[in-house]
Chain A
Amino acid sequence: EVQLVESGGGLVQPGGSLRLSCAASGFTFSSYSMNWVRQAPGKGLEWVSYISSSSSTIYYADSVKGRFTISRDNAKNSLYLQMNSLRAEDTAVYYCARDGIAVAGPLYAFDIWGQGTMVTVSS
């Protein structure tokens, strides 16, 4: 079964740090680009960051640039998000999501999602 499982969420004080992990299974992780997408309580989806299959290309949303770092370990089938200088507005469920692949190439769409991990930034 194709699966993504996030972990590492929790309660952290403003200015603090947290590292999220996403464990992939059921597919060849090293062949796929990956993303983090977040959803604040009662709000919509917000794309956070992208990393290509080989880690050669990385993108960030302006809202997290300079504070968050995306990385991956293809040997461990794992995706990470290091979050520093956390703010109250970073409070959200964080999803890892796979960028799908078709015969013609990447889909630029998120075809597999994890169940999410909650991050709460509060004093």
Chain B
Amino acid sequence: QSALTQPASVSGSPGQSITISCTGTSSDVGSYNLVSWYQQHPGKAPKLMIYEGSKRPSGVSNRFSGSKSGNTASLTISGLQAEDEADYYCCSYAGSSWVFGGGTKLTVL
């Protein structure tokens, strides 16, 4: 299984919106509505932000939203805040395995 493709970095100013893309194949993202997104601050464990492509776990801000089109999933963060600065990873179930993206570093300017 090859890693999903994410941009290495994105940036935005406080209050702005950013979108992180996650491109897979017809064997993973395209086949299952089971993309999840994780936020990881330096030295910390990852935190689930989105599951099943667009659902938010309890306690996750509604500033975080997810979508999918074909083989590409996206995470959008609106109203950027300083605490959103972190690494973000997408992940897709691929039938008897899971595959992560390479990660995207979000910088809040």
Which DSSP category, helix, strand, loop or mixed, fits chain A's interface? strand
Task: Give CA–CA (A78, B106) in the complex, Å.
Answer: 35
Q: A47-B91, A62-B1, A100-B51 are in contact. Are A108 and B34 (CB under 8 A)?
A: yes
Could you say which of A44, A111, A115 contacts B100, with CB atoms under 8 Å apart? A44
Nearest CB in chain B to that of A114: its residue: B45
Task: Give CA–CA (A91, B108) in the complex, Å.
Answer: 31
Task: Give CA–CA (A62, B94) in the complex, Å.
Answer: 13
For the side of the interface on B, what is the size category?
Answer: 20 to 34
Task: Give CA–CA (A83, B3) in the complex, Å.
Answer: 23
Give the residues in chain A near B102, CB-CB below 8 Å: 44
For residue A46, CB closer than 8 A to chain B, the reply is yes
Q: Which residues of A contact B (CB under 8 A)?
A: 35, 37, 44-47, 50, 59, 61-62, 95, 97, 100, 107-111, 113-116
